[in-house]
Amino acid sequence: MVPATSAKISHRASGARHPLHKEAIYAAFALAAGMGFGRFAFTGMAPVMLSEGQLSIADGSLAASANYIGYLIGALVAGAVKREQSAMWCRIALLGTVVCTALLILPMRPWEIIAIRMIAGGFSALALVSAAMWLFHQMKHAAGAPLLFAGVGAGILVSAEIIAIGKHYEMHSAPLWGWIAVGALLCTIPAWFAMHPKKITLLTAAATAHRHPARDLGAWRLIFIYGLAGYGYIITATFLPLLMKNSLGTVDPIQVWAAFGLGAIPSCIYWNRLHLTHGANRAMAANLLMQAIGVILPVIAPNIYGYLGSALLVGGSFMGTVTIAMPAAQRVAHTVRFNLLAFLTAAYGVGQILGPVVSGILVGQLHSFTVPLLSATVALLIAVVACLI
């Protein structure tokens, strides 16, 4: 007679072909709150705050850069998080995200908004890394990456629609931030109860491994490519609604931003399949090439079609980059002595800091986003080449 525990392990291992979808969905809720709401809602809210005089364009750029600096710091902090502590730290990050979002309801001076956005960036990175660690390492479910990272797109989409509804009813930014905080809280609740610090899976890591050793990217090359990807997408992700202002007629730019989030949801599944079929190098190259086309599109076609195409192409690829990179990093993590997931997130954060800074300088001198978008496109094309050499 087989002991109960052994039978349970055998049953879970034999069922490895049936992914732990519930755990991946709970982790997706965490990223919807920590990233979709906590991080990217500001992209849709910035034009509202500019129109009310709460922020100037310079203040908005500083708030964006501060958020990315916080993101970098959060990634470095996450590097010290042990796998068995990932659930606890994800809970802390989600609670911090909700609080930072809710604080923006209060009347504040620009420097206070900038400071809060910096802290929020730290919580976003911590949420991303700890949720991925919880799912990949504690739940042993790397195959759940597409559902996990689709949560970011879902959070962007829902927060954008909250902003669109608020603008339709002529709400000021304060109550709008209140509703965004409520949305972040609602996403936090299921993740909070699912990510119990003592919860572990008996499924073996080998059972869910998808390995293409000959086509994997080495740790350092992956870090280099991922840093370029951070710079490549962030100008579009930060300034797209502002870039479109007064260019779409009766179409609200926030709806194009919603399309950005909508494109990200199914894309994670597509890019994961491409990754499993063709390996990390080819999948990443295709992903970044598509992203480069999306970034340059507003320069080639500065109209509704160009902006919508940019939103769909960049939105449909930027989370795919993460979906490819994180499992690829997990497979080569044993080749380095540091937390590769956290180090990757930090490299991405460096790219994201440079993007708004370079844009602010160039736009201030040239009064156009053309050169910043060109520089982002070049960065992505360099990354494509680095994937294939």
- Ranges of each domain in the chain: 20-388
Q: How high is the pLDDT of residue 388?
A: 92
Q: How high is the pLDDT of residue 200?
A: 55
Give residue-wise pLDDT tens across range 217-241.
889 999 999 999 999 998 888 778 7
Closest listed residue to residue 141, CA positions, set 253, 231, 15, 51: 15
Q: Which long-range contacts (CB under 8 A, 24 or more apart) does 1-10 make?
A: 8/202, 9/202
Q: Crossing angle for the helix pair 57-78 and 110-133, nearest 10 degrees?
A: 30
- pTM, two decimals, is 0.83
Which residue numbers in the chain have pLDDT < 50?
Answer: 1-19, 202-210, 213-214
Q: How high is the pLDDT of residue 12?
A: 40
Q: How high is the pLDDT of residue 3?
A: 44
Q: How high is the pLDDT of residue 33?
A: 98
Q: How high is the pLDDT of residue 15?
A: 40
Q: How high is the pLDDT of residue 241?
A: 76
The DSSP 8-state label assigned to residue 40 in this structure reads: T
Ordered DSSP codes for 54-83: S--HHHHHHHHHHHHHHHHHHHHHHTT--G
Give residue-wise pLDDT tens across range 84-121.
889 999 999 999 999 999 999 999 999 999 999 999 99
Q: How high is the pLDDT of residue 21?
A: 83
> In the CATH scheme, what architecture does the domain 20-388 have?
Up-down Bundle (1.20)
Structure tokens at 246: 């007064």
